[in-house]
Amino acid sequence: MAYDVKNAILSGKTALGIEFGSTRIKAVLIGEDNAPIASGSHDWENSYVNNIWTYSLEDIWKGLQDSYQKMASDVKQQYGVTLQTIGAIGFSGMMHGYMAFDKNGELLVPFRTWRNNFTGQASEALTTLFDYHIPQRWSTAHLYQAILNQEEHVADISFLTTLAGYIHWKLTGQKVLGVGEASGVLPIDLNTKNYNETMIKQFNELIASKNLPWKLEDILPKVLAAGENAGVLTEEGAKLLDVTGELQSGIPLCPPEGDAGTGMVATNSIAKRTGNVSAGTSVFAMVVLEKELSKVYSEIDLVTTPTGNLVAMAHSNNCSSDLNAWVGLFDEFAKAMGLEVDMNKLYGTLYNLALQGDPDCGGLLAYGYLSGEHITHFEEGRPLFVRSSESKFNLANFMRVHLFTALGALKIGMDILLKQEEVKLDRILGHGGLFKTKGVGQRIMAAAIDVPVSVMETAGEGGAWGIALLASYMINKADNETLEHYLNEKVFAGKMGTSIDPDPNDVAGFNEFMKRYIKGLAIERAAVDYLN
Alpha helices in 80-186 (DSSP H): 120-130, 139-148, 163-172, 179-182
Closest CA to 258 of 141, 173, 166: 166
**Would you give per-residue pLDDT tens digits along the chain (532 residues)?**
455 899 999 999 999 999 998 889 999 999 999 999 999 999 998 888 998 889 999 999 999 999 999 999 999 999 999 999 999 999 999 888 999 999 999 999 999 998 887 898 999 999 999 999 999 889 999 999 999 999 999 999 999 999 999 999 999 999 999 999 999 999 999 999 999 999 999 999 999 999 999 999 999 999 999 999 999 999 999 999 999 999 999 999 999 999 889 989 998 999 999 999 988 888 989 999 999 999 999 899 999 999 999 999 998 989 999 999 999 999 999 999 999 999 999 999 999 999 999 999 999 999 999 888 989 988 889 999 999 999 999 999 999 999 999 999 999 999 999 999 999 998 899 988 899 899 999 999 999 999 999 998 765 568 899 999 999 999 999 999 999 999 999 999 887 689 999 999 999 999 999 999 999 999 999 999 999 8
Give the three-class secondary structure for 431: strand
Q: What CATH architecture does domain 267-317+411-502 belong to?
A: 2-Layer Sandwich (3.30)
pLDDT of residue 303: 94
Residue 338 CB coordination number (10 Å): 6
pLDDT at 458 (0 to 100): 65
Element (H, E) at 277: strand 274-279
List the chain domain ranges. Answer: 267-317+411-502, 321-408+505-530
d(CA 69, CA 65): 6
Residue 73: which H helix or E strand, with range? helix 57-79
C-alpha distances in Å from residue 76, one per residue of 3, 39, 73, 82, 128: 13, 11, 5, 6, 55
